Amino acid sequence: MDCEQRNIVNNLIDSYHAIGGINRLDSANLPSKRTIIATCERLLQLLFPGYHDEDPIPADELEMITGERIAGLVETLEVEVAKTLRLRDDETGEQHSELRQQARELVCKFLRELPKIRHLLQSDVEAAYEGDPAAKNFDEIILAYPCIEAIAIQRCAHCLYELNIPLIPRIMTEFAHNLTGIDIHPGATIGTHFFIDHGTGVVIGETSVIGNFVKLYHGVTLGARNFPKDENGRIVKGNKRHPNVEDHVVIYPHATVLGGKTTIGTRSTIGANVFLRESIPPDSFATNVGEKLNLINKITGEAVEPIETGNDS
């Protein structure tokens, strides 16, 4: 059966000329999504040696294996980071060799942060063990809990994000999102001992700031309250849009907390399905009563009022 291949090709070519914005022709190559995904898996091997490997890692070969993995990452990431930096070529006029050197320096800065990231991840594993009575041991948490993979990849992506490396951090966290159902933007700042129980459906926006010893359940959203627009009606980028969550806060399933001026005070608890757009003081317990927010001081048992923050802008 003739499927009229020539007509299909011609129609597609016509479409490429007619429809802009989703073509990338005669321009610098973009980073490879497959390579970035493979890089995430290699980073997990470095962060949790022995947990993401098919074969055991002998202790007397650890230095050699680690050296080989670091060398491979430097080589791979240098190429991919240079591709993202090349996106700025029209503005900077930087030569390819200069971009490669800049990319190598950025990659080395990132890799030097891996011991600090491991320290944070140890605290996250501890938080999962302490926060989940079903957890039997650290092995189970590292191998089976989706939050650990999502948080590990986000912590690496956040480091690249802080180095102002374009595109790659977002590819990494969207890979983790696809893998685990947990969507954490690489821009989100997260403290120690972070635990997401179950995890599916969690969304944490770019400008969220999360303190230490915070526990979230599935379906929690830390989102934007509104999207300010400029004089041309376009959404303003880069402003503070997402909430702050202070230390020792627990947020139960399907709660939604919105707004860049919204702060959840230390040691507060947000009940399931709560919809919150105002700041609440420390030691508060927020629940829904009908369509109204019920806010109780956990220490005195007295009702308290949320702190009106106004519209974000």
| pLDDT tens per residue across span 250-280 | 999 999 999 999 999 999 999 999 999 999 9
* Look-up of token digits 């939604």: 256
pLDDT band at 87, cuts 50/70/90? confident
The pLDDT of residue 93 is 53
Greater confidence (95 vs 53) lies with 53
The pLDDT of residue 75 is 96
**From the candidate CATH numbers 2.160.10.10, 3.40.50.150, 2.40.30.30, 3.40.50.720, the one assigned to the domain spanning 201-313:** 2.160.10.10
The pLDDT of residue 186 is 98
pLDDT band at 107, cuts 50/70/90? very high
pLDDT band at 1, cuts 50/70/90? very low
Global pTM? 0.91
For a pLDDT cut of 90, what percent of the chain falls above it? 76
Q: Are 285 and 296 in contact (CB under 8 A)?
A: yes
- Classified by CATH at the fold level, domain 26-182 comes out as serine acetyltransferase, domain 1 (1.10.3130)
**pLDDT at position 182 over 70:** yes
Q: Are 267 and 282 in contact (CB under 8 A)?
A: yes
**pLDDT at position 76 over 70:** yes
**pLDDT at position 91 over 50:** no
Mean pLDDT calculated for residue range 65-89: 91
Three-class HEC string of 175-214: HHHHHHCCEECCCCEECCCCEEECCCCCEECCCCEECCCC
**pLDDT at position 159 over 80:** yes
Greater confidence (218 vs 90) lies with 218
The residues spanned by each domain of the chain are 26-182, 201-313
Mean pLDDT calculated for residue range 204-222: 98
Average of per-residue pLDDT values in the chain: 92
pLDDT single digits (tens) 53-69: 888 889 999 999 999 99
Q: Are 186 and 158 in contact (CB under 8 A)?
A: yes
For a pLDDT cut of 70, what percent of the chain falls above it? 94
The pLDDT of residue 94 is 61
The pLDDT of residue 55 is 86
Lowest-pLDDT range of 46-60, 63-77, 92-106, 126-140: 92-106
Maximum Cα–Cα distance across the chain: 79
Mean pLDDT calculated for residue range 48-54: 91
**pLDDT at position 89 over 80:** no
HSE of 218 in the Cβ direction (CA atoms, 13 Å)? 8
Mean pLDDT calculated for residue range 109-129: 98
The pLDDT of residue 2 is 65
